[in-house]
């Protein structure tokens, strides 16, 4: 009886292993190329430099593969949009350090949405220390409030470097200056 159970267990393990490996990934080379081409075509006008655009698109496709292993159709279009905004912010943050527009993206206006405000907050909190959270939350609220005054209907993305430096400086002076 023990041998029969062992045989059944081993057979089930082998069969389940085969079925898992025989399931094809949604991210086939053709699917990946189609996603790549779609993203590339959609940002071509905003990012004319082909080399920089290729870097961005490759980054986005790789992140989408990590975040959505079952493909783009496994979640709603709204979720794909939110994820794309998050990935775009990650890329912009990583590639704009020390350079005012290293990303090569031509700025364009984007309407204010709750998701956009969330992405801005996440970007501002990227490297925060836990002990700084309360102050950073106030700074973030101040920055977003001032940006909404400058850009009431929509915000210019990527934001002009001088605008973000000015707004962040004003908020820093208002909040830190009052705590002294």
Tens of pLDDT, residue by residue over 144-175, are 999 999 889 888 877 777 888 888 889 888 88
Whether 79 and 73 have beta carbons less than 8 Å apart is answered as: no
Which among 76, 106, 136 is the end of a domain? Answer: 106
State the residue range of the domain holding 136. 108-180
Which among 106, 130, 162 is the end of a domain? Answer: 106
User: Within this chain, do residues 37 and 100 fall inside the same structural domain, yes or no?
Assistant: yes
- Asked if the model's pLDDT at residue 136 lies above 70, the reply is yes
What is the number of structural domains in the chain?
A: 2
Q: Is 88 exposed, middle or buried (0-12, 13-18, 19+ CB in 10 A)?
A: buried
Non-local CB neighbours of 121 within 8 Å, separated by 6+ positions: 140, 144
52-110: pLDDT as tens digits: 889 889 999 999 999 999 999 999 988 888 788 778 777 776 766 555 555 667 677 88
Predicted TM-score (pTM) of the model is 0.57
- What is the pLDDT at residue 96? 60
Whether 175 and 142 have beta carbons less than 8 Å apart is answered as: yes
Looking at the domain assignment, is residue 9 inside a domain? Answer: no
Task: Tell me the pLDDT band of 36, cut-offs 50, 70 and 90.
Answer: very high
d(CA 27, CA 122): 28
The better pLDDT of the pair 85, 1 is held by 85
């Amino acid at each position: 009886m023990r041998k029969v159970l062992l045989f059944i267990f081993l057979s089930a393990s082998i069969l389940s292993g085969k079925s898992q490996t025989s399931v094809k990934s949604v991210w086939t080379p053709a699917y990946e190329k189609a996603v790549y081409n779609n993203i590339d075509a959609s940002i071509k006008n905003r990012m004319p430099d082909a080399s920089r655009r290729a870097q961005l698109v490759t980054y986005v496709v790789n992140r989408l593969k990590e975040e959505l292993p079952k493909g783009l159709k496994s979640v709603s279009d709204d979720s794909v949009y939110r994820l794309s905004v998050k990935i775009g912010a990650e890329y912009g943050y990583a590639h704009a350090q020390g350079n005012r527009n290293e990303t090569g993206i031509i700025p364009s206006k984007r309407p204010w949405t709750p998701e956009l405000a969330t992405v801005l907050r996440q970007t501002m909190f990227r490297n925060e220390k836990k002990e700084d959270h309360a102050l950073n939350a106030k700074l973030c609220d101040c920055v977003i409030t001032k940006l909404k005054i400058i850009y009431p209907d929509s915000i210019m993305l990527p934001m002009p470097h001088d605008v973000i430096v000015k707004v962040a400086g004003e908020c820093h002076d208002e909040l830190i200056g009052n705590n002294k």
